[in-house]
Amino acid sequence: MENKKTALGLDENVAGFLCYVATWVTGIIFLILEKENKFVRFHAMQSLLTFLILFAISIFIGWVPIIGWIISILMFPLWLILWIVLMVKAFNGEKFKLPIVGNIAEKQVNK
């Protein structure tokens, strides 16, 4: 099976993977650059929402002395695993939806 190409000339699975590489930053970039491919736009939106929320949570938790720092340190491996799983799923051509955020991303893309 041949992958569909995106507006950028990339295979859609590669573009989906790249949506996650620099977390919410590449999510924004691909939302701006890719206007047609719903697979890529879904992963870009999910990346943007997921990692922007996680970034905001980490900033908020980081303000809490000692216990917040400990929680941040303990959460980092979980976020790292999530990041890797999302990249692998997108590269494999899967539309892997996270709970809540995935549904929001899908609704935004299908507007």
User: What pTM value is reported for the model?
Assistant: 0.92
Which region among 12-16, 68-72, 80-84, 92-96 has the lowest average model confidence (pLDDT)?
68-72
Rounded CA-CA distance 71/68 in Å is 5
pLDDT at 37 (0 to 100): 96
Per-residue pLDDT of 2-40, as tens digits, reads 678 899 999 999 999 999 999 999 999 999 999 999 999
